[in-house]
Amino acid sequence: MPENWDVIIIGAGVVGCAIARELSRYRLRIGVLEKEMDVACGNSSRNSGVLHAGFTYRKGSLKALCCVEGNREFEVVAEELGVPFKRSGKLVVGFTDKDRASLERFKAVGEGNGVVGLELVDKKRLNELDSSAGGEFAMYSPSSGILDPMVYTLALAENATQNGAIFLFDREVTGISRRDGLYELATPTETFTTRWVVNAAGMNCARVSSMLGIHGYTIRGFKGEYIILDKKAGVFLNMPVYPAPNEKGGFATHATPTVHGNVLIGPDSYVTEDFGDFSVTKKQMDGLVTDGLRMFAQVKREYFIRNFAGIRPKLVDPATGEILDFVCEARAEAPNTINLVGIESPGLTSALPLARRAVALMAEKEKLLANPAFNPRRQAAPRFGEQDIEGKKKLIREDPDYGEIICRCETVTKAEILQAIRNPLGVRTVSAIKNRTRATMGRCQGGYCETRIAALIQEETGCRVTDVLLNQKDSRMFSGRVRE
Amino acid sequence: MEKKDVIIVGGGPAGLAAAVELHKLGITDILILERERNLGGILRQCIHDGFGLTRFRESLSGPEYARRFIDQVVERNIPHLTEAMVIDITSDRRVTVSTREGILEFQAGAVVLAMGCRERTRGAVGIPGNRPAGIWTAGVAQSYINLHNTMVGREAVILGSGDIGMIMARRLTLEGARVKAVFELMPYGSGLPRNIQQCLEDYGIPLFLSHTITDIKGRSRLEGVTVAQVDENLQAIPGTEKDWTCDTLILSVGLIPENELSLAAGVVLDSRTRGPVVDENYQTNVAGIFAAGNVLQVHDLVDFVSLEAENLAGSVARFVRENRLPECGIGIRGDSSILHTIPQRISAASDFVLSLRVRRPFRNCEVRITQGGKTIKTVALAKAIPAEMIRIPIKASALSGTGTLEVAVL
């Protein structure tokens, strides 16, 4: 670990990881400090996984510019990083005249932003596009897509690591001071000295901004809950189905297929003061079913697998409550810092465009030297479940661990679990294995495979049974051995 | 592609009993496919006793019960592959298996589905709250403690009075954990009365009926749950909430037959059992594909799983020899008092055993089976509860060749 860093990025969400990846094109000592135990523990993984087209954002706004730019390039990005992606298209459906007016308005906004292919469709065409979708008419957005936000963030982080960036987890930045032209970042265990600081702290962006000496930002947490449906429901849904947006461009509960074949119902939206509260509630769950059924006919209890919640960190004008644009700035009062504030939806789509803007702001201050070893490609390990029969045979011939299926619901083999435990970021929690392999994500929710994964983590890392963590720092799974 | 007369998917109690019985009937070209390292299925982790009271008239542990069948498989040299996961079955009975040695493909004369069941999860029942470590289904906790020498926690509450949940209440207590209470949504226990006595009452663990969990606290490790009483519509009653501190929550909220492979083969499922629709031969809608045990219907006792699989063996043997079985064109329908019946179709030409569960508890009741208004059979029962399967033998001689069989509890 270097004693002096060139850049420290605070936050390993999708934006922090994208910045780390884009900065790794240059000869810099890059560190990423993350308070949680893995990447994408906040809103980067707690969203619908949609590559947005950009038809609800004000023309010329950073949201509109980054979203459209990020949308256009994603085939290339997905190919480079080896991540699943589908340009599925999206339906924004309406029922009333008011909805129709809304769709017409946002079609015009989208066209103004450079979104291509937007089309108002009647009920017949709507049914052809997706026979399970609700609504009487719709706006069809062919350039919208779906991706796995967790895997995308991981891929950015792993590619950054390949190119020399260093990720450090369980390092919450508690204070920032500036001395002799360098920043000192305090964490509970160590102090980091760096020339540059990037604030990509997501939910905590306003707090970190204040630590940098940039005051006055107000973040409001808009919490939303989701229900995950079984792949048995997924076969009915071709593309995301959203209700017509409200006047501010906000969407209510929608139905979104995932790249893996499940369906997400949500999110709803309510304000929360507690930015760490990802609990779900009966009232909201019931509401998701009612609202979800308007979008997608297969919201049935027999398909429910799991619930989760996310919190969108919206930058607001505290006087009016108005939701403001993304901020990506280099301010004079905090030299050598890049400050990203209020990055919420469409943050996933916008991550790389925002990262390029952050790099450009740095490049205005100093000449960045190309990293000659930079490789933009990340090789994803083959997935047994996605191979045809000959591909499966070949994998097992090369490594018999591919023949041993650990997670039955998602067809994940021992070979894939071991690769995940040996991941380049060095994360060893049970959730890390889940997020890297999909093991435990199926309908039995780990009923068959969790015991095996816990055993493999202990075998591979040599850790004690009491040191096996579910996800967070103190999330110990086990209290000890039954018999020593 | 290698041919086999019968491929049995699953080496648990159903698969083992079917294999041994088929062998006794002279069908020896059998292959049992088991994904685990050892035969025995879920019985391997059921180290408590009480198995075999009906079948062997003695109380055995799960592994002892399984051993009786495994010994016969070994003595008879019945072929079996372990660490072999079936990944596909087609409607023309081609079976694809993944093993460390490679992918194996078989053409089966008949396929016996014996995959058992899985546990209903937190997500499926939609329990609100946080998502910390320390929440497990009862079977997973049982596996950690009994097979992986791993203790899941020190202070537990249990949601659901399913049998495995109650057995885990006792098991955790015996291993030094404190089990504070069992909460059951329904106004009656969902497991067997003997388990309420032997696993809860004998250890002073209270069972609260008509209660549910309305919140889960703790962000990293479980810190407690909020429990409320429910009304007759099973909705939490505001004002009755009470907090319980605990580091472990065990869920015993139902079992679901494991039918992913059945669906791949085109087998039609019953929305009530969530297992295949079968006829009196335990044959599904796909010719030559049969099902028995918990993959067909969740059983109360393993003894009946074995019996069901042995009954199935006779039909499978006949199918292997004759390549067809008699038409079963007569349906069986339960009224609103009946949760489900097995089989769902019969020929009326053979004797069969009707198994069923009631939807709610009854006292001093009568199960009545009628056909076209004519009473075929009545069975008087002092009590009938959802936790216990009811099995009624029916003689073909009592049946007519047409007309749906109607089943009701009065």
A390 touches chain B (CB under 8 A): no
pLDDT for the residue A144: 98
Given the structure tokens 């990720």, which residue do they identify? A167
Q: How far apart are CA B153 and CA A477, in angstroms?
A: 8
Q: How far apart are CA B289 and CA B266, in angstroms?
A: 10
pLDDT for the residue B259: 95
A476 touches chain B (CB under 8 A): yes
Given the structure tokens 């067997």, which residue do they identify? B192
* pLDDT confidence band for A128 (50 / 70 / 90): very high
Which residues 221-280 of A have a C-beta within 8 angstroms of B?
A: 227-228, 276, 278-280
A289 touches chain B (CB under 8 A): no
Provide, as residue numbers in chain B, all residues whose Cβ is less than 8 Å from the Cβ of A282.
Answer: 126, 128, 214, 236
pLDDT of A246 higher than 90:
no
Q: Inspect the interface and report whether the beta carbons of A282 and B133 lie closer than 8 Å.
A: no
For residue B99, give the chain A residue with the closest CA. Answer: A403
Provide, as residue numbers in chain A, all residues whose Cβ is less than 8 Å from the Cβ of B153.
Answer: 478-479
pLDDT of B104 higher than 80:
yes
B144 touches chain A (CB under 8 A): yes
pLDDT tens digit string along A382-433?
999 999 999 999 999 999 999 999 999 999 999 999 999 999 999 999 999 9
Token pair, residue A184, equals 């000192």
Interface-testing mutation among B115, B136, B220, B252, with chain A (most A C-beta atoms within 10 A)? B220
Whether A49 and A258 have beta carbons less than 8 Å apart is answered as yes
Least Cα separation, residue B277 to chain A (angstroms): 18
Whether B287 and B93 have beta carbons less than 8 Å apart is answered as no
Q: Which long-range contacts (CB under 8 A, 24 or more apart) does B369-375 make?
A: B369/B394, B369/B405, B369/B406, B369/B407, B370/B405, B370/B406, B370/B408, B371/B399, B371/B400, B371/B403, B371/B404, B371/B405, B371/B406, B372/B400, B372/B402, B372/B403, B374/B400
Q: Inspect the interface and report whether the beta carbons of A451 and B143 lie closer than 8 Å.
A: yes
Q: Inspect the interface and report whether the beta carbons of A408 and B85 lie closer than 8 Å.
A: yes
Whether B232 and B256 have beta carbons less than 8 Å apart is answered as no
pLDDT tens digit string along B127-141?
999 999 999 999 999
Averaged pLDDT of chain B: 96
Q: How far apart are CA A329 and CA A476, in angstroms?
A: 40
A474: left (phi over 0), alpha (psi -120 to 50) or beta: alpha
Nearest to A482 among B131, B139, B175 (CB): B175
What predicted TM-score, i.e. pTM, was given to this entire model? 0.96
* pLDDT confidence band for A1 (50 / 70 / 90): confident
Least Cα separation, residue A77 to chain B (angstroms): 33
Provide, as residue numbers in chain A, all residues whose Cβ is less than 8 Å from the Cβ of B100.
Answer: 396, 400-401, 403-404
Token pair, residue B207, equals 């069972």
pLDDT tens digit string along B198-246?
999 999 999 999 999 999 999 999 999 999 999 999 999 999 999 999 9
Q: Inspect the interface and report whether the beta carbons of A446 and B133 lie closer than 8 Å.
A: no
Catalytic residue among A52, A215, A254, A260: A52
Q: Inspect the interface and report whether the beta carbons of B148 and A451 lie closer than 8 Å.
A: yes
The helix/strand/coil state of B361 is coil
Provide, as residue numbers in chain A, all residues whose Cβ is less than 8 Å from the Cβ of B175.
Answer: 482
Given the structure tokens 């991981």, which residue do they identify? A154
Q: Inspect the interface and report whether the beta carbons of A408 and B98 lie closer than 8 Å.
A: no
Provide, as residue numbers in chain B, all residues whose Cβ is less than 8 Å from the Cβ of A480.
Answer: 151
Q: Inspect the interface and report whether the beta carbons of B140 and A307 lie closer than 8 Å.
A: no
- β-bridge partners, A266: A254
Whether A52 is catalytic is yes
For chain B, give the percent of residues with pLDDT over 70.
100
* pLDDT confidence band for A17 (50 / 70 / 90): very high
- β-bridge partners, B283: B290
pLDDT for the residue B145: 98
Nearest residue to A206 via CA among A318, A98, A106: A318
User: What b/e string do you get for B256-289 counting C-beta neighbours within 10 Å, with b at 16 or more?
Assistant: bbbbbbbeebebebbeebbbbbbbbbbbbbbebb
- What are the CA-CA distances from residue A249 to residues A244, A252, A349 (Å)? 9, 10, 17
pLDDT tens digit string along A291-333?
999 999 999 999 999 999 999 999 999 999 999 999 999 999 9
User: What b/e string do you get for A355-365 counting C-beta neighbours within 10 Å, with b at 16 or more?
Assistant: bbbbbebbeee
- What are the CA-CA distances from residue A210 to residues A62, A214, A218, A262 (Å)? 22, 5, 11, 40
Which residue type, as a one-letter code, is found at position A75?
E
| Residue A325 neighbours by CB under 8 Å, 6+ apart | A58, A61, A62, A63, A315, A342
Q: Inspect the interface and report whether the beta carbons of B140 and A306 lie closer than 8 Å.
A: no
Q: What is the mean pLDDT of residues A106-117?
A: 97
ipTM: 0.95
Q: What is the mean pLDDT of residues B26-30?
A: 98
Torsion of CA A364, A366, A372, A373, to 10 degrees: -90
pLDDT tens digit string along A334-392?
999 999 999 999 999 999 999 999 999 999 999 999 999 999 999 888 999 999 999 99
Interface-testing mutation among B33, B36, B100, with chain A (most A C-beta atoms within 10 A)? B100
Q: Inspect the interface and report whether the beta carbons of B220 and A473 lie closer than 8 Å.
A: yes
Interface-testing mutation among A308, A479, A484, with chain B (most B C-beta atoms within 10 A)? A479
Q: How far apart are CA B256 and CA B259, in angstroms?
A: 9
pLDDT of A251 higher than 90:
no
pLDDT of A3 higher than 90:
no
| Residue A428 neighbours by CB under 8 Å, 6+ apart | A421, A457, A461, A463, A469
For residue B255, give the chain A residue with the closest CA. Answer: A444
Nearest residue to B82 via CA among B100, B66, B69: B100
Alpha carbon B96 to chain centroid, angstroms: 25
The CA angle A363-A313-A46, to the nearest 5 degrees, is 100
Provide, as residue numbers in chain A, all residues whose Cβ is less than 8 Å from the Cβ of B130.
Answer: 278-279
- What are the CA-CA distances from residue B295 to residues B262, B316, B346 (Å)? 9, 17, 20
Averaged pLDDT of chain A: 96
pLDDT tens digit string along A193-229?
999 999 999 999 999 999 999 999 999 999 999 999 9
Whether B342 and B375 have beta carbons less than 8 Å apart is answered as no
Torsion of CA B167, B172, B178, B179, to 10 degrees: -20
pLDDT for the residue B146: 98
Which residue type, as a one-letter code, is found at position B290?
F
For chain A, give the percent of residues with pLDDT over 70.
100
Whether A407 and A437 have beta carbons less than 8 Å apart is answered as yes
Which residue type, as a one-letter code, is found at position B8?
I
Provide, as residue numbers in chain A, all residues whose Cβ is less than 8 Å from the Cβ of B126.
Answer: 227, 282, 285, 301, 304, 307
* pLDDT confidence band for A54 (50 / 70 / 90): very high
A408 touches chain B (CB under 8 A): yes
For residue B97, give the chain A residue with the closest CA. Answer: A403
Token pair, residue B243, equals 């907090």
Interface-testing mutation among A282, A311, A411, with chain B (most B C-beta atoms within 10 A)? A282
pLDDT for the residue A165: 98
Token pair, residue B178, equals 């404190």
B153 touches chain A (CB under 8 A): yes
Least Cα separation, residue A92 to chain B (angstroms): 28
pLDDT of A248 higher than 90:
no
Tally of residues, chain B: 410
Whether B293 and B275 have beta carbons less than 8 Å apart is answered as no
Nearest residue to A82 via CA among A301, A311, A386, A333: A386
Give the number of C-alpha atoms closer than 13 A to the C-alpha of residue A129, restricted to the C-beta side: 27
Q: What is the mean pLDDT of residues B83-93?
A: 98
Which residues 432-471 of A have a C-beta within 8 angstroms of B?
A: 443-448, 450-451, 454-455, 465, 469-471
Q: Inspect the interface and report whether the beta carbons of B102 and A397 lie closer than 8 Å.
A: yes
pLDDT tens digit string along B264-297?
999 999 999 999 999 999 999 999 999 999 999 9
For residue B132, give the chain A residue with the closest CA. Answer: A475
Q: Inspect the interface and report whether the beta carbons of A279 and B118 lie closer than 8 Å.
A: no
